[in-house]
Chain A
């Protein structure tokens, strides 16, 4: 076989593995979220289907698959049907540039454990994440329902407000690393300060805090899930969606959650880097697999963190959300850039 076909097959295998892992992650989260809610609220949660209720997502999926297909009479049909598909597409496409491991040496070939090594990787993620909001806004408008529309509009305003803080909070990292490529950002975190790994959480603690808070708004999770807000808007933009179209939103939201957990790990927690492992004599292949494992463990830690926060905090009021975004997070993000610049000038 010519090298072109081998490369193509390798890329296809990577795409299939990542898609499978994401879908598996979505199913895991569907049960972890509900069992986690039970754990945090001192009740059981769904535990009947399979061991520890582990097959509950499959049962739910089958149930939703056989539900009636429904389109509201006054809806804009094409956009109503296209919105969930667009939402899921964007959610999956965003993950394409996340590096989930270092290079893998296999049969004399170097395989980068990442679907697309784009040299502006971080901007690619922001570009696609900013498009994801259309899946929600269009759904809100096309359903021709006032609750849907309110949910969509809230989501649009919220995304715009928090993407500013989200984007500015990572500029400190970019100033230190001098690159927009996600792999370069990870490699820059593999050094040490004494025994402390030089992860960006220690370099940019304020940036990390701002990024983490803005992430909750970006993935529409409590305390910032104003576009769903059951008590005021029923469930906002999803009101008119049932059966598999509802599942697509459900899936897209969890894929977004996995993507942003992975992004936090890559930007602030060293990605696939395992601290203090450099001195040990480990076979390179085993090391590469261990690093993938470390990445997965870190991502799961953050996924659990999102569940933990969801069942711990109440929801913000809408004006509080806007005020917090513009008057607290944005000035702090700008201060972080300024402080990083001053430190970089003083300590070359």
Chain B
């Protein structure tokens, strides 16, 4: 049952991720990205991390992507908007970065995921503790300083947005 769900969610996530870059229509691309996020949330649920799954949907699919779709819908996405751009530089850089990313991913998979140490929070352990509690106890003890620093970064982002919005008047 769980294996079947994993295969379904994983396959749909990969297929829709490919569709994000293949699709010719920006709005359709954005909608496929939402489907990808939804499938990732499904994978989190299979790992007993319902809290992360809910956050994935609330924050990414439900808030950030709404703004993405909002902006993309206001753009001209017809054929005339794309004509005349070959994007050779961007495409070549893209290929280079994909290769580098795959190398990084492969090396991490080989060194850490296959042979490395297992952490204390396996799916079974998380089910036992309760996933919200497990998440909170790690976030507010071991990773407290990164958490606080990120919140300062977000505050800077909020202030920047307010300044930009105020300048027009």
Contact = CB atoms under 8 A, between A and B. Distances in A.
Are A and B interaction partners? yes
Given A120-B50, A131-B57, A180 B132 contact: yes
A328 interface: no
B132 A152 contact: no
A131 B67 CA distance: 13
Interface residues of A, number: 28
Interface size class of B (residues with CB under 8 A): 20 to 34
Contacts of A75: none
B98 to A, nearest CB: 29
Nearest to A129: B62
A331 to B, nearest CB: 14
Given A149-B73, A152-B73, A153-B74, A123 B54 contact: yes
A130 interface: yes
A163 B74 CA distance: 22
A76 B73 CA distance: 13
A80 to B, nearest CB: 12
B132 A160 contact: no
Contacts of B130: 119
Interface string A134-162: 10011011000000010011001101100
B70 A131 contact: no
Contact of A123 (B34, B38, B58): B58
A127 B37 CA distance: 12
Contact of B73 (A124, A131, A137, A180): A137
Contacts of A120: 50-51, 54, 131-132
Interface of B is mostly: helix
A32 interface: no
Interface string B60-80: 011100110110011000000
A20 B55 CA distance: 31
Contacts of B50: 118-120, 123-124
A39 interface: no
B57 to A, nearest CB: 4
Given A119-B130, A131-B61, A153-B73, A126 B54 contact: yes
A127 B69 contact: no
Contacts, number: 77
Contacts of B67: 156, 160
B63 A160 contact: yes
B69 A137 contact: yes
Interface in A152-178: 152-153, 156-157, 159-160, 163, 167
Nearest to A133: B66
A130 B54 contact: no
Nearest to B66: A156
Nearest to A132: B62
Nearest to B72: A141
A118 B28 CA distance: 32
A130 B57 contact: yes
B16 to A, nearest CB: 14
A137 B57 contact: no
B31 interface: yes
Nearest to A174: B132
A120 B56 CA distance: 13
A153 B75 CA distance: 13
B27 interface: yes
B51 A123 contact: yes
Interface string B131-151: 110000000000000000000
A138 B31 contact: yes
5 smallest A-B Cβ distances: which pairs? A130-B62, A123-B54, A127-B57, A156-B70, A127-B54
18 contacts: A79-B31, A119-B50, A123-B50, A124-B54, A127-B54, A127-B62, A130-B61, A131-B57, A134-B34, A134-B66, A134-B69, A137-B70, A138-B31, A141-B69, A141-B73, A153-B70, A156-B66, A156-B69
